[in-house]
Structure 1
């Protein structure tokens, strides 16, 4: 099977150094495997989308030499696919309507674990929809982080697939779109490591294939928080990508590549790329974040 990887940014701000690490890591894995590298814009959560952010991110990736092999997929255009997946689960009795507020859930440690709503139906507002999770462990082997295991019922409980405002959850959209795009390996940051068991569970419930997973270390600020668009951390210098690319490669445990131009640097980085060098975690903060 041809390797198919992807990078799926949320358009909530400009591309920053932390996102570049994930993009570069996934691009290197796809190119090393002689596969396809795909782009998906995770723009489901309309209130969080920053106007102009998506084209800015795609333009920045182009400036850094990271170009997709197929047209970009936008989650905002995939409503029908998510509804079909939800209806499949609904027909099999896997989901239930829930009117619980945070205060309602505080009485049960903030988690649903009984497969039904503990709040009476409310005629004046729509419900969220949750999926019932089993009391068993879901395990997978991460190619960098090693063996991972999580009991969904104990850790996250019956989680939301569709919010009360109608927005689909990241988890449902992610597994539906990964299957649609034929993704064989998901390369992303460690902040999503905890999401993977939920997504494997959904893949099983929807009869979708499960890709392999590789979670990269997170780029951190001086205060140990992750770099993010929401805090406006380190927008990329698009006029001179080479220094940032060199640091991103070093951050991923790779030898600093030679090359005085973008194409040569990326070619040399690809030739030397070894995923076994990627560290589990990265303790040193990204330069310039003090």
Structure 2
């Protein structure tokens, strides 16, 4: 078993991060496997070395150790070029110049099968030859699904909420995911969906342990892995840590950062108890 913790170094770790890191670490160690640490730092503007250092400090304070060096996506941006070029040669990419305002305006009108989270396909007819500086690159989901039609494309989930065998449902992928960005606008930097999936394959991750808020996006990563003939890991989407109002914790919740708890005199055991690690997780 090889698991990983893959935070973005754009702020301090909070209790939700601690839960995910501890769970992945304990699963790997209990199986005699490896636990890897990866910084998903392709957001070059918001990612900071000081946040990465603090993440390492917080993890060590919790007693979490990792195998090998810390992996940085920003340090190997060139490694994502070949997979993107392969997808382009397969005819699966198109350029997109839409701003968030453009997308919001398009979604304000009723459109069958489109939700506020799904790109309204404003640029879908543009060929790659029409790409201009500053354009993002999106996955042409229709063509991608056509290419994998007939294959056994699925993933195994071991998290309690979604445990079982999940075959890719094309209709659901269209409704809930759509044509995701694979290379970000104006940066020519690979986006999360592709970078994370590629690194899981490159690092030999056998079990992806992460919050259940990412479960719905697993299908698109499995589709990308299948298109690129890469192995699909087992997924374990765990419960989310919420505040007293039931709201999912985010990095803006600095009052719940591990750094704040540590400064207030909390011990790692206090954090374990707060996260219910004396119970089944």
Q: TM-score, normalised by structure 1?
A: 0.78
Aligned CA distance change for structure 1 residues 174 and 202 (closer, same or farther; 3 Å): same
1:178-217 mapped onto 2 (5 Å cutoff): 178-217=200-239
1:59-98 mapped onto 2 (5 Å cutoff): 59-98=57-96
Q: 1:242 corresponds to which residue?
A: 269
Output one character per residue of 1:45-93: Cα deviation in whole Å (capped at 9) or x when no partner: 1222245110001111011110101111001112111111101111211
- Residues 155 and 233 in structure 2, CA contact (< 8 A), matched pair in contact too: no
Any idea what SS the aligned residue of 1:39 has?
A: strand
Aligned CA distance change for structure 1 residues 142 and 115 (closer, same or farther; 3 Å): farther
Q: How well do the aligned residues superpose, as a CA RMSD in angstroms?
A: 2.6
- Residues 3 and 35 in structure 2, CA contact (< 8 A), matched pair in contact too: yes
User: Is 1:146 matched up with 2:168?
Assistant: no
Q: 1:130 corresponds to which residue?
A: 138
Distance 1:227 1:101 in 2: 28
User: Is 1:232 matched up with 2:254?
Assistant: yes
Q: 2:185 corresponds to which residue?
A: 164
Question: Which consecutive unaligned segments of at least 5 residues does structure 2 have?
Answer: none
Question: Which consecutive unaligned segments of at least 5 residues does structure 1 have?
Answer: 256-276, 279-290
- Residues 27 and 37 in structure 1, CA contact (< 8 A), matched pair in contact too: yes
Distance 1:129 1:85 in 2: 13
- Residues 115 and 132 in structure 1, CA contact (< 8 A), matched pair in contact too: no
Output one character per residue of 1:148-181: Cα deviation in whole Å (capped at 9) or x when no partner: 5652122221111011122321011101111111
TM-fit CA distance, 1:113 = 5.6
- Residues 31 and 37 in structure 1, CA contact (< 8 A), matched pair in contact too: yes
Q: 2:19 corresponds to which residue?
A: 21
Distance 1:78 1:70 in 2: 16
Q: 1:58 corresponds to which residue?
A: 56
1:91-110 mapped onto 2 (5 Å cutoff): 91-102=89-100, 103=102, 105-106=106-107, 109=114, 110=118
81-90 vs 231-240, which moves further: 231-240
Output one character per residue of 1:94-144: Cα deviation in whole Å (capped at 9) or x when no partner: 111122334254365453469924699585x52110111145896533102
User: Is 1:111 matched up with 2:119?
Assistant: yes
Output one character per residue of 1:238-278: Cα deviation in whole Å (capped at 9) or x when no partner: 35211112332x2x5x44xxxxxxxxxxxxxxxxxxxxx43
How many pairs were matched up?
251
Q: 1:272 corresponds to which residue?
A: none
Distance 2:84 2:241 in 1: 35
- Residues 98 and 123 in structure 2, CA contact (< 8 A), matched pair in contact too: no
Any idea what SS the aligned residue of 1:59 has?
A: helix
